[in-house]
Amino acid sequence: MIDLRGRRALVTGGSRGIGAATARMLARAGADVMIGYRTRSADADRIVNELERMGVHAFARAANIATRDGAESLVAATVTALGGVDIFVANAGVWQAEAVPLTGMSDEQWATTIRENVDSVFFTSRAVARVMGDGGRIVLVSSTAGQRGEAFHADYGASKGAVISFTKSLSTELAPRGITVNSVAPGWVDTEMVTAPMANEGRAKISASIPLGRIASADDIAGPIVFLCSPLARHVTGEILNVNGGSVLCG
Ligand SMILES: NC(=O)c1ccc[n+]([C@@H]2O[C@H](COP(=O)([O-])OP(=O)(O)OC[C@H]3O[C@@H](n4cnc5c(N)ncnc54)[C@H](OP(=O)(O)O)[C@@H]3O)[C@@H](O)[C@H]2O)c1
């Protein structure tokens, strides 16, 4: 039903986790895909091979998108490889597993999280907006933490709250150009990012806290992202789509 043949997609953080699942699903729908990643080139190459086997053009590019030069080089490489960008998924991000009270949070931790989760989205979105045409789709990955906050992870909650308000600002600003901008806000997702809290009894405790009774897979998040990138969602913009098994009910 979702046909993305002829569409050119850039997915940041596409070497693993939610980004890799999204890249696979976009390719399955027929889109050509560039995945961005930071360092893990073996993982990125493996995903590119998988996508190519689906019959689409696929590329990967290492770039630290928390820097302006890195972000702009990734978008430029996408335009060179694919000829343009019709779909942009800003997915790369970081979460520090260690719980840190505000009184003990270092300046460095705060600045790093904001740089990784907010500056990266600004730098990449700005570069994409300069080249994206009518009918473009932008999806920014936020988090339940950006809506209800996250105690002992105040840096992360603030960074994802910024992504949510950035989504709303861009949605109105880019609407006259026929570009939609939405956010998917995941709850717990079974990826490497959350290996530590899932260890030992953590997994069972987290599952029990989710009304639908299980932790999301990366595919559970990729589906709603791809929906928002598709013609089915052509009249949806500025939306924050919760994908959390019912654990946090706010928009
Ligand atoms: N997992 C969860 O429970 C959860 C919940 C809510 C929201 N989220 C959000 O969902 C998104 C994806 O999470 P995930 O769990 O899939 O993460 P993940 O498994 O840790 O993967 C992170 C990806 O981002 C890339 N990356 C990180 N920083 C980068 C940078 N500065 N420049 C370029 N690439 C960078 C990594 O590249 P390398 O492979 O090269 O390191 C990797 O591809 C994040 O924004 C996260 O905050 C996750």
User: Which are the catalytic amino acids?
Assistant: 156
CA of 74 to the centre of ligand 1 (A): 16
pLDDT reported for residue 138:
99
**Using alpha carbons only, what angle is made at residue 116 by residues 104 and 106, rounded to the nearest 5 degrees?**
15
**pLDDT of 251:** 61
Residue 245, domain member (yes or no): no
* Alpha carbon distance 33, 15 (integer Å): 12
Task: Decide: pTM greater than 0.75.
Answer: yes
On whether residue 104 sits in a domain, the answer given is yes
Q: Which residues pair with 140 in a beta bridge?
A: 90, 183
pLDDT at 1: 86
**Which residues line the pocket of ligand 1, CB cutoff 6 A?**
12-13, 15-19, 36-40, 43, 64-66, 91-95, 116, 120, 141, 143, 186, 188-189, 191-194
Q: List the pLDDT tens digit at each of the 251 positions of the chain.
A: 899 999 999 999 999 999 999 999 999 999 999 999 999 999 999 999 999 999 999 999 999 999 999 999 999 999 999 999 999 999 999 999 999 999 999 999 999 999 999 999 999 999 999 999 999 999 999 999 999 999 999 999 999 999 999 999 999 999 999 999 999 999 999 999 999 999 999 999 999 999 999 999 999 999 999 999 999 999 999 999 999 999 998 86
Give the pair of three-digit tokens for residue 140: 């920014």
Give CA 223 to chain center in angstroms.
12
CATH code assigned at 27:
3.40.50.720
The total number of structural domains in the chain stands at 1
Q: Examine residue 251 and state whether it is found in any structural domain, yes or no.
A: no
**Domain enclosing residue 143, as ranges:** 8-240
Going edge to edge, which strands form the sheet with 32-37? 58-62, 32-37, 8-11, 87-90, 137-141, 180-186, 240-243
Q: Which atom of ligand 1 is nearest to the CA of 116?
A: 31
Q: What whole-number distance in Å separates Cα of residue 21 and Cα of residue 223? A: 9
The answer to whether the beta carbons of residues 32 and 9 sit under 8 Å apart is yes
